[in-house]
Structure 1
Amino acid sequence: MCRLFALTSREPVSPMLAIDALNVMKEGHDGSGVGLFLSGLGGPFEELKGHPILSGIFTDAGLKRVYEYMAERGHRAQYSAMFKPETVPPVGTPKRGTYASLAYKMSDEWRALPKAEQDRALVQMRLDLRAEGEESGEIMVFSLWPDTIMIKEVGDPMAIGEYLKLDREELHARHILAQGRQNTNYAINLYACHPFFIEGISTMTNGENTAFIPIKEYLQSRGVTGYQGYQSDSEVFTHIAHFATKKLGLDISSYKHVITPMNDEEMAGHPDREFLSNLKKSCRKLIIDGPNCVIGCLPDGSMFMAQDRKKLRPGVVGGDPKKGIFAFSSEICGLNAAIPDRDKTQDFQPMHLDTAIVGPDCREVLKCSQKDPLRLQR
Structure 2
Amino acid sequence: MCRLFALTSRDPVSPMRAIDALNVMKEGHDGSGVGLFLSGLGGPWEELKEYPILSGIFTEDGLVQVFDYMAKKGFQSKFSVTFKPDIEPPVGTPKRGTYASIAYKVPDDWKGLTKEQADRNLVQTRLNLRAMGEEGGDIMVFSFWPDTIMIKEVGDPLAIAEYLKLDREELYARHILAQGRQNTNYAINLYACHPFFIEGISTMTNGENTAFVPIREYLMSRGVTGYQGYQSDSEVFTHIAHFATRKLGLDISSYKHVITPMNDEEMADHPDREFLVSLKRSCRKLIIDGPNCVIGCLPDGSMFMAQDRKKLRPGVVGGNPELGIYGFSSEICGLNAAIPDRDRTKDFQPMHLDTAIVGPDCREVLQCSQKDPLRLRH
Asked if TM exceeds 0.5, the reply is yes
Once the 2 structures are TM-superposed, how far is the Cα of residue 111 of structure 1 from its aligned partner?
3.0
How many aligned residue pairs are there?
378
Distance in 2 of aligned mates of 1:52 and 1:109: 16
Cα shift at 1:137: 1.5
1:202 aligns with 2:202: yes
Deviation (angstroms), 1:108: 1.3
| d(CA) in 1 for partners of 2:341, 2:52 | 37
What amino acid is the match of 1:350? P
Task: Report what 1:70 is aligned to.
Answer: 70
**Mapping 1:1-378, distance limit 5 Å:** 1-378=1-378
**How far apart, CA to CA, are the structure 2 residues paired with 1:333 and 1:360?**
24
What is the rounded CA distance, in whole Å, between the counterparts of 2:341 and 2:48 in structure 1? 34
Could you tell me which amino acid in structure 1 is paired with residue 210 of structure 2? T
- In structure 2, give the amino acid aligned to 1:135: E
Deviation string 1:260-292 (CA, Å, 9 cap, x unpaired) is 000000001100000000000000000000000
Q: In the aligned structure 1, how far is the partner of 2:2 from the partner of 2:111?
A: 40
Superposed CA deviations along residues 120-148 of structure 1, whole A, max 9, x for unmatched, are 00000000000010022110000000000
Gaps of 5+ in 2: none
Q: What SS does structure 2 have at the residue aligned with 1:246?
A: helix
1:240-270 deviations in Å (ceiling 9; x for gaps): 0000000000000000000000000000110
Give the match's secondary structure for 2:229: coil
Distance in 1, Cα, partners of 2:106 & 2:284 = 40
TM-fit CA distance, 1:359? 0.1
Structure 1 segments unaligned to the other structure (5+ residues): none
- Identity over aligned residues, as a percent? 84
* Paired AA for residue 147 in structure 1: D
User: Aligned partners of 2:345 and 2:376: how far apart in 1?
Assistant: 31
CA distance in structure 2 between the aligned counterparts of 1:217 and 1:58, rounded to whole angstroms: 31
User: How far 1:341 moved relative to its partner?
Assistant: 1.1
Once residues 282 and 184 of structure 2 are traced to their aligned partners in structure 1, the CA distance between those partners, rounded to angstroms, is: 33
Residue deviations 1:179-213 (CA, integer Å, cap 9, x gap)? 00011111000000000000000000000000000
Report the CA distance between 1:105 and its aligned residue: 1.1
Deviations 1:224-251 (CA, angstroms, capped at 9, x unpaired): 0000000000000000000000000000
Superposed CA RMSD in Å reads 0.4
The residue identity in structure 1 corresponding to 2:105 is K
CA distance in 2, matches of 1:345, 1:252: 25
Work out the CA distance in 1 between the residues paired with 2:264 and 2:137: 51
Superposed CA offset, 1:146-202 (max 9, x none): 000000000000000000000000000000000000111110000000000000000
| CA distance in structure 2 between the aligned counterparts of 1:111 and 1:206, rounded to whole angstroms | 40
In 1, the alpha carbon distance for the partners of 2:343 and 2:94 equals: 42
* Structure 1 consecutive aligned stretches of length 4 or more whose deviation exceeds 4 Å: none
* CA distances 1:346-368 after superposition (whole Å, capped 9, x unpaired): 00000000000000000000000
Q: Distance in 2 between matches of 1:240 and 1:289?
A: 14
Separation in structure 1 between the aligned mates of residue 312 and residue 84 of structure 2, nearest angstrom: 40
**Whole-angstrom CA distance in 2 between matches of 1:341 and 1:262:** 37
Secondary structure of the structure 2 residue equivalent to 1:372: coil
In structure 2, what is the Cα distance between the partners aligned to 1:219 and 1:278?
Answer: 18
Give the residue type in structure 1 aligned to 2:187.
Answer: A
Letter in structure 1 aligned against 2:29: H
Q: Distance in 2 between matches of 1:110 and 1:101?
A: 22
Q: What is the CA-CA distance between 1:113 and the residue it aligns to?
A: 1.1
Tell me how far apart the structure 2 counterparts of residues 162 and 156 of structure 1 sit (CA, whole Å).
10
CA distance in 2, matches of 1:86, 1:257: 49
1:306 Cα deviation (Å)? 0.0
> Aligned equivalents of 1:294 and 1:349: distance in 2?
13
SS of structure 2 residue aligned to 1:136: coil
C-alpha distance in 2 between matches for 1:118 and 1:16 = 33
SS in 2 for 1:296: strand
Instruction: Quote how far apart the aligned CAs of 1:5 are.
Output: 0.1
Q: Per the alignment, in what secondary structure is the counterpart of residue 95 of structure 1?
A: coil
